[in-house]
Amino acid sequence: AQLGSGPGWMGPEQPELVGGSPVHNRALELDDLSVPFQPKPYCYSLVLLPSWMGYLDNITAIGPRTVGSPENEVLTVNYLLQQIKAIETESTDAHKIFVDIQRPTGSFSIDFLGGFTSYYANITNVVVKLEPRGGAEHAVLSNCHFDSVPNTPGASDDAVSCSVMLEILYTLSKSSEPLQHAVIFLFNGAEENILQASHGFITQHEWAKSIRAFINLEAAGVGGKELVFQTGPENPWLVQAYVFAAKHPFASVVAQEIFQSGIIPADTDFRIYRDFGNVPGIDLAFIENGYIYHTKYDTSDRILTDSIQRAGDNILAMLKYLATSDMLAKSFEYRHGNVVFFDVLGLFVLAYPARVGTIMNYIIAAIAFLYLGKKVLQPKNRAINNLKKFFTAFGLILLSWISTLVTVLIVAVFISLVGRSLSWYSHFYVSVFLYGTAAVVKLILVHSLAKKFYYKNMNDQYLGDVFFDASLMIWSILLAMITHIGLCSAFICTLWVAFPLLTKLMIHEEFRQKGATMKFVVMYMLGMFVPYLYMMYLNWTVFEMFTPIMGRSGSEIPPDVVLAGFIVASTMILSSYFINFIYLVKSTKTTLITLTAVFLVTLILVCSGIFFPYSSDAANPKPKRVFLQHMNRRFHDLDGNLVKSDSGIWINGFDYNGISHITPHVPEINDTIRTPCEEWAPFCGLPWILPVHFMFRKNWYLPASEIFPASPIHFEVLTKELTPWNSVRLSFEVSGPSHMSLYIRPHEGSALSTWSLGDGTPVASVGGDYFVFYSHGLQATPWHFWIELTASENHSDGVVSLAIAAHYFFGEDQKSPQLYALQERFPNWTFSSGWSCTYDLFVF
């Protein structure tokens, strides 16, 4: 389909489709929609790739789909309606299809990014319900979002998921076999605005009451396998459904516990359905190639057809399974306990209740402790000597790990201080040669020195045996501790206790033989094969996810220190049962010299700058992310007088390197123009689009000419009143662009007690100021809100400072000529996202 032409195109000239009465907030059968459409000229099948590839190409061809823009609110919505209509014409009599265009308005608070409050008005959801001809009481929800972040085509995040959902809708609707339950397809139009559309749906839509489970489709990368990284809460039957139905499983409870710990600065609609809808579900996301996630390179041609086919197979199978399951109707009866789950090399998934895992873990740990106790304490006349040697080995292992961690982190800090952070960003092998070799050298060196000077008269076979047992003890203690904490990821420790223990029991005689014979090595490696293979597989997944994140983790976290820590942890885990070989082999001198040489050569090359962090390779770009905001700022005093104003381009580099690599290309952007913090103003007097100020303390401000938006912000105080309970209530009216940020700082002696936002309880951000994120779709009415403060009698300097920022993400106001010109000078290995904004501060 050629967008923007042809008789089936529904563009802005039909505004009634996206905001008028025909489909505004009511459910219709698609036959009721008197809109033109043009069926796609190819077959609809998950097996025939051109179908969903056509959806994906057409959605991304619309361009960036920022909330409030015509591209998001009109063009994409109409395209989705067109395709849904075409699907309905080919559906069988076994099902009915209903569609609803929902435009909710609402507000909620969330503890994401340090905590803030969100307000949305007239945003868009396209909701489709497929149900049996006789109707259905219960439903399963499939969720994607068609909006994108500004200045990006958003193919992987999340147009591809919407394309897959369209194809699944077609496939299910063509089936002559009726479903037992309804399937609701939510094409949500405001996820990138921090989960607003899903909140509007689950809290306000009439169909939400029937939902018993959901599948959320997301992306943290571009293609690859889609990882199940969140399930539940509780409801182990959902994991069992995935185990039974998924044709290409890729799931890990480790990913779930990492994500829910908050280490990764991201969140998904899963949180909204869980927290505000009390609905259990499954969260899936593409994780490969996160380097181009949320950049201009996130285009449809970069997503492999195999990735989309695999995702389609899995999601279709899951939805069919849930929509025909008796458990869906009684889902609350199966809500008991968490579940341990992990896939085995993508072949199948192992899943079992967490309570079973807890019992199993304690039993395995107890067996290991009994074995070690018997080994060390017998014979009784040598028990004290055995204990001394055992705990010496135990202490030496811990000492070697700690000294390795300290040494490698010192190297990472040195690399950061000399300005060579992220040298491995485009060349991951550099991190292995630099930090991996340093870790291995340090481990081997500590134990080689111990063997030479402390154990110089000790039998090698005895030492190998003792150090194996000491490693087993460490893993057994970790297993008991992590199980006690309640983490399902304790199953990893189970692998590192059970298999080594079995190996030791099977070849205990060989441990006593002199030298490491070939038979011993082969049997030892076979016994360790399972935990080592799984750990390597898990390491690949972790590094696949975390390495690209280091390029967008802010200016405060040294990425080399983080990655070095990961590599040291991996080295310690993988070497834990090979430390004993240091005591079995005759010499480690050759190994130490070789690895030290590799480390030193890599260190010299990194310090010389030969490994440039970023890449503009057309096939595999790894860009540096930079945000530029051309802004006007106006600061007013208590009497409303303008006390300060300025204009400039505010620059934020998204990684630890800041703008050091950009300065040679754009000399005026340098450390002499670091942004000063206006300490007396909320959020330093800067127009943050989200409260991420604690992640980006280093930024730059290049003076520039004033901008004059065609649609300036309108801010008005409606009322000021003293309440009977001696509080001050201020009411406001705001109108402006689709994205605005409100910042509130109560003065000393004052406190923000309540407001008209969220649930009425103000939520402070990091630092104590209050942040409100506002967005609207098309044709939103002015935003009205009030705040209430308690204040002491003496408040001559006012009780509160309040600032409002307007962000222009699309249209004629988005970029000034000066901003365009500056972006053009940026090197091709950068992704610079720019927009215009204004910041106005008032005191009341």
3-state SS of 669-722 is: CCHHHECCCCCCCHHHHCCCCCCCCCCCCCCEEEECCCCCCCCCCEEEEEEEEE
Residues 492 and 593 in one domain: yes
* pLDDT band with cut points at 50, 70 and 90 for residue 537: very high
Q: pLDDT tens for residues 97-131? A: 999 999 999 999 998 888 899 999 999 999 999 99
Q: Is residue 16 part of a domain?
A: no
Question: Does residue 766 sit within a domain?
Answer: yes
b/e burial code for range 330-355 (CB count within 10 A of at least 16 → b): ebeebbeebbbbbbeeeeebebbbbe
Which is nearest to 156 in space by CA: 256, 265, 304?
Answer: 304
User: Across all residues in the chain, what is the average pLDDT?
Assistant: 89
Domain termination residue (choose one: 337, 366, 399): 337
Given pLDDT bands bounded at 50, 70 and 90, which one contains residue 3?
A: very low
Residue 400 placed within a domain:
yes
Instruction: Tell me which of 576, 608, 640 is where a domain ends.
Output: 608
Residue 659 lies in a domain: yes
Give 5-42 pLDDT, tens digit per residue.
332 333 333 333 333 323 333 344 444 333 333 333 33
pTM of the shown model: 0.90
Q: Which residue in the block uniquely carries the two structure tokens 């507000």?
A: 107
What CATH number should be reported for the domain holding residue 318? 3.40.630.10
Q: Choosing from 71, 73, 131, 191, which is the catalytic residue?
A: 191
Do 149 and 267 lie in a common domain? yes
Taking only the tens place, the pLDDT of each residue in 129-141 is 999 998 999 999 9
pLDDT above 60 for 508: yes
The pLDDT, as a whole number, for residue 431 is 96
Mean pLDDT (whole number) for 298-324: 93
What is the extent of the structural domain holding 484? 358-608
The verdict on 601 and 644 lying in the same domain is: no
Average pLDDT rounded to a whole number, residues 751-778: 94
Residues 593 and 631 reside in one and the same domain: no
**716 included as an active-site residue:** no
Dihedral of the alpha carbons of 494, 500, 505, 506, in degrees to the nearest 10: 120
How many whole angstroms separate alpha carbon 335 and alpha carbon 746? 43
Amino acid 52: pLDDT: 58
In a domain, 731, yes or no: yes
**Residues 209 and 325 reside in one and the same domain:** yes
Which of these, 62, 63, 68, lies nearest to 83 by C-alpha position?
62
Helix, coil or strand: residue 581: helix
Residues 333, 365, single domain; the answer is no
Q: How confident is the model at residue 780 (pLDDT cuts 50, 70, 90)?
A: confident
- Give the count of domains, the chain: 3
pLDDT at 234: 82
Domain limit, last residue, from 303, 337, 371: 337
Q: Is residue 609 a contact partner of residue 666, using CB atoms and an 8 Å limit?
A: no
Same domain as 365, residue 329: no
Question: CA-CA distances (angstroms) from residue 486 to 120, 456, 492?
Answer: 37, 43, 13
Q: Does residue 448 lie in a domain region?
A: yes
Residues 329 and 366 in one domain: no
329 and 474, same domain (yes or no): no
- The answer on 373 and 421 residing in a single domain is yes
Answer yes or no: is 6 within a domain. Answer: no
Cis peptide before 379 (omega within 30 of 0): yes
Query: Do 595 and 635 lie in a common domain?
Result: no
Instruction: Give yes or no: residues 720 and 818 share one domain.
Output: yes
pLDDT at 509: 67
Q: Are strands 139-145 and 182-188 parallel, antiparallel or unpaired?
A: parallel
Could you give the CA distance from residue 620 to residue 615 in angstroms, rounded to a whole number? 8
| Residue 373: inside a domain | yes
